[in-house]
A and B are shown apart, each in its own frame.
Chain A
């Protein structure tokens, strides 16, 4: 068992999160991954946008930055470029990352800058009281989708894969041992890495859609998820009501800052030769 208190700002407790919220499970998983890798706290920087999940940096004893809504990846890009030795982790919500922040999300993936983005996907805008999100499944209710969402939803992981991320995975708060490993692999990956974590929001999403308590929602995850490996054996029809979890992408591509540093080095070499 790791000593969580080593990483937490206990004086900032109690957390603002509701009873039954999955965010705390994701937070502990991130801390276990960092502890396993053994990064010193001073070398870690967590950056978030705005939302329930984005309150995470306030509770952890790293270099922490709580930015404007949707802009975490942009701020993180600046931190990383100015201090490449920092391990920069973006913690963000589905709305934060893919609605208002969608542009930064896909371009950071395209650049393949060495950031890890952990997206707390609760299918809703939690903090503002349950408005529809780009990941709310069609037909599900939200405070701004009283008749059920009429929009198809984003596949957050697919988006990152298509845009060029080096590592993309999806986990759930039910499969917490797997989640630890996914986050650890993402953190260690050179390049843009994403872990999409399905996490229940009983307050703003579950209640309106009669999904029960946080525990019920986590049980639902157990029953409706399927691993990438198993999914490969099934037909699209059989996968209809399933959510696929596991590692979707793990490739080595040139990382943005390495490429940039190589440019600096070559310019300097030329300058010293001339």
Chain B
């Protein structure tokens, strides 16, 4: 296992036609993935299929576990033993993984969880698109912690955000969710993959102290403790219980408070490094559209069509949904007179946008929950109505 093997494979820019699921698998390998555990579920299964083929070629390991819970557990175990580890699933499997995602958050174990969203609740719509897991990504597991969730809207962006998901996971010692949707997962697009030396790969911060001084949950300047792997001379204890700096359970209110606040703070205080939005046609815009994932593809088109009709509309597209880009949305609300949030759910992000803008401008919603994508015309229609 090791990154060199991955790099050797990536010689030169490659122009290819691939799907979002392909790009996710490739992005993971480019980021240094050496371990994948999963359980098949549409529309994510191709990620597992591709990696079952690619990983052993590269000296990495793939395992199809007996269920999603086991897959998430195996990913955490592998990460603690030093691997860059990932799993991929869809709504129902994402629900099953939640308890162990919480473990990864509590024990600060870097890993990537891909959720290719489909309609729900329950088994819902196996082959149809939806964006209904935005809140599950944020609040799916119990307890109070921050989470990072990224949301690509194209095939190339899926590659980039998968790499970024690994980098953020390693940097912040945390599980990172890659929220895809069925459209992005299955659409075929021409992409030019970056050359290996263009890809920035971050490795977790290792301890530089002697083993006897190692504190696996040390309070550091940046709130992110250096992390050792099992079997490297640093013997340490990992638990999902509240623990002190040594990693051992504690019931001391002071220690508990310190830990939970740090877990939240290590992400919230670095939100400016994490949050990423793309803007389109926002110069002089009076109507702002907020959309993400596949819906942003329709929103781009709608905004362009609106401009052709001389309606000054623009698009704000969050690439990162959690931490929520509240500052960016608020700044947009200062510049426009109305916001439209388009998404394939009943308004999960719209609600968050309303919170962010605090009634400064009206927030209109375009929602669809029937398994069909939102066509550009629906968003254009909403823009026209707001412009009137």
Query: Bound pair: A and B?
Result: yes
B-contacting residues of A (Cβ < 8 Å)? 9, 12, 41-43, 45, 47, 57-58, 61-68, 71, 73-83, 85-86, 103-104, 107, 260, 263-264, 267-268, 271
> Which single residue of chain A is at the shortest CB-CB distance from B59?
A264
A78/B37 contact (C-beta < 8 A), A63-B231, A64-B237 known: yes
Are B70 and A79 interface neighbours, CB within 8 A? no
Name A's interface SS. helix
Please give, as numbers and ranges, the residues of chain A lying within 8 Å of B35 by CB-CB distance. Answer: 78, 81-82
The 9 closest A-B pairs by CB, nearest first: A78-B77, A74-B73, A78-B74, A78-B78, A82-B81, A74-B70, A63-B230, A82-B78, A75-B77
Please give, as numbers and ranges, the residues of chain A lying within 8 Å of B99 by CB-CB distance. Answer: 68
Complex A-B: 26 CB contacts under 8 Å: A12-B248, A58-B237, A63-B230, A63-B236, A65-B238, A66-B241, A67-B103, A67-B240, A68-B73, A71-B69, A77-B73, A78-B76, A78-B79, A78-B83, A79-B80, A79-B81, A82-B35, A83-B229, A85-B231, A103-B66, A103-B67, A103-B70, A260-B56, A263-B56, A264-B59, A267-B56
A75/B74 contact (C-beta < 8 A), A42-B231, A65-B238 known: yes
> Which single residue of chain A is at the shortest CB-CB distance from B241?
A66
A104 to nearest B CB, angstroms?
Answer: 5
Are A81 and B63 interface neighbours, CB within 8 A? yes
Complex Cα–Cα for A267 and B77 (A): 26
Are B239 and A58 interface neighbours, CB within 8 A? yes
Please give, as numbers and ranges, the residues of chain A lying within 8 Å of B230 by CB-CB distance. Answer: 45, 63, 65, 79, 83, 86
A202 to nearest B CB, angstroms?
Answer: 24
Please give, as numbers and ranges, the residues of chain A lying within 8 Å of B70 by CB-CB distance. Answer: 71, 73-74, 77, 103-104, 107
**CB < 8 Å: which of A58, A78, A103 contacts B248?**
A58
**CB < 8 Å: which of B34, B66, B76, B232 contacts A75?**
B76
Are A77 and B240 interface neighbours, CB within 8 A? no
Please give, as numbers and ranges, the residues of chain A lying within 8 Å of B249 by CB-CB distance. Answer: 58
Are A57 and B77 interface neighbours, CB within 8 A? no
Would you call B269 an interface residue if the criterion is a C-beta within 8 Å of the partner chain's C-beta atoms? no
Within 8 A of A (CB), among B65-122: 65-67, 69-83, 85, 99-100, 103
Interface core residue of B34, B231, B233, B248 (most chain A CB under 10 Å): B231
Per-residue 0/1 for B32-75: is the Cβ within 8 Å of any A Cβ (1 yes, 0 no)? 00110100000000000000000011010101011101111111
Please give, as numbers and ranges, the residues of chain A lying within 8 Å of B72 by CB-CB distance. Answer: 74
Given contacts A75-B74, A104-B73, 19 further A-B contacts (CB under 8 A): A9-B237, A42-B232, A42-B233, A63-B231, A64-B237, A65-B230, A66-B238, A66-B240, A74-B71, A74-B74, A77-B63, A79-B78, A81-B61, A83-B81, A83-B230, A264-B56, A264-B57, A268-B57, A271-B57
Please give, as numbers and ranges, the residues of chain A lying within 8 Å of B65 by CB-CB distance. Answer: 74, 77, 107
Complex Cα–Cα for A86 and B79 (A): 14
B14 to nearest A CB, angstroms?
Answer: 18
A67 to nearest B CB, angstroms?
Answer: 6
Are A82 and B34 interface neighbours, CB within 8 A? yes
Are A77 and B77 interface neighbours, CB within 8 A? yes
**CB < 8 Å: which of B73, B235, B237 contacts A78?**
B73
> Which single residue of chain B is at the shortest CB-CB distance from A106?
B66
Are B63 and A71 interface neighbours, CB within 8 A? no
Within 8 A of A (CB), among B259-278: none
Please give, as numbers and ranges, the residues of chain A lying within 8 Å of B239 by CB-CB distance. Answer: 58, 65-66
Are A268 and B59 interface neighbours, CB within 8 A? yes
Are B59 and A64 interface neighbours, CB within 8 A? no
Interface core residue of A58, A62, A66, A74 (most chain B CB under 10 Å): A74
A45/B59 contact (C-beta < 8 A), A58-B249, A65-B77, A79-B80 known: no
> Which single residue of chain A is at the shortest CB-CB distance from B73?
A74
Please give, as numbers and ranges, the residues of chain B lying within 8 Å of A68 by CB-CB distance. Answer: 73, 99-100, 103, 240
B173 to nearest A CB, angstroms?
Answer: 16
> Which single residue of chain A is at the shortest CB-CB distance from B63?
A81
A102 to nearest B CB, angstroms?
Answer: 10
Within 8 A of A (CB), among B207-248: 229-233, 235-241, 248
A41/B235 contact (C-beta < 8 A), A68-B240, A79-B230, A86-B230 known: yes
Complex Cα–Cα for A214 and B70 (A): 35
Please give, as numbers and ranges, the residues of chain B lying within 8 Å of A57 by CB-CB distance. Answer: 237
Are B237 and A83 interface neighbours, CB within 8 A? no
> Which single residue of chain A is at the shortest CB-CB distance from B103?
A68
B140 to nearest A CB, angstroms?
Answer: 15
> Which single residue of chain B is at the shortest CB-CB distance from A104?
B70
**CB < 8 Å: which of B74, B229, B238, B241 contacts A64?**
B238
> Which single residue of chain A is at the shortest CB-CB distance from B211?
A42
Complex Cα–Cα for A57 and B7 (A): 38
Please give, as numbers and ranges, the residues of chain B lying within 8 Å of A9 by CB-CB distance. Answer: 237
Interface core residue of A78, A103, A104 (most chain B CB under 10 Å): A78
A225 to nearest B CB, angstroms?
Answer: 33
Interface core residue of B75, B80, B232, B241 (most chain A CB under 10 Å): B80
Complex Cα–Cα for A65 and B80 (A): 9
Complex Cα–Cα for A198 and B79 (A): 33
Please give, as numbers and ranges, the residues of chain B lying within 8 Å of A74 by CB-CB distance. Answer: 65, 69-74, 77
Please give, as numbers and ranges, the residues of chain B lying within 8 Å of A65 by CB-CB distance. Answer: 77, 80, 230, 237-239
B64 to nearest A CB, angstroms?
Answer: 10
Please give, as numbers and ranges, the residues of chain A lying within 8 Å of B74 by CB-CB distance. Answer: 74-75, 77-78, 81
> Which single residue of chain B is at the shortest CB-CB distance from A16?
B249
Complex Cα–Cα for A260 and B76 (A): 20
Complex Cα–Cα for A211 and B83 (A): 48
Please give, as numbers and ranges, the residues of chain B lying within 8 Å of A47 by CB-CB distance. Answer: 77
Please give, as numbers and ranges, the residues of chain A lying within 8 Å of B248 by CB-CB distance. Answer: 12, 58
Complex Cα–Cα for A68 and B63 (A): 20
B61 to nearest A CB, angstroms?
Answer: 5
Please give, as numbers and ranges, the residues of chain B lying within 8 Å of A268 by CB-CB distance. Answer: 57, 59
Are B231 and A43 interface neighbours, CB within 8 A? yes
A204 to nearest B CB, angstroms?
Answer: 20
Are A107 and B235 interface neighbours, CB within 8 A? no
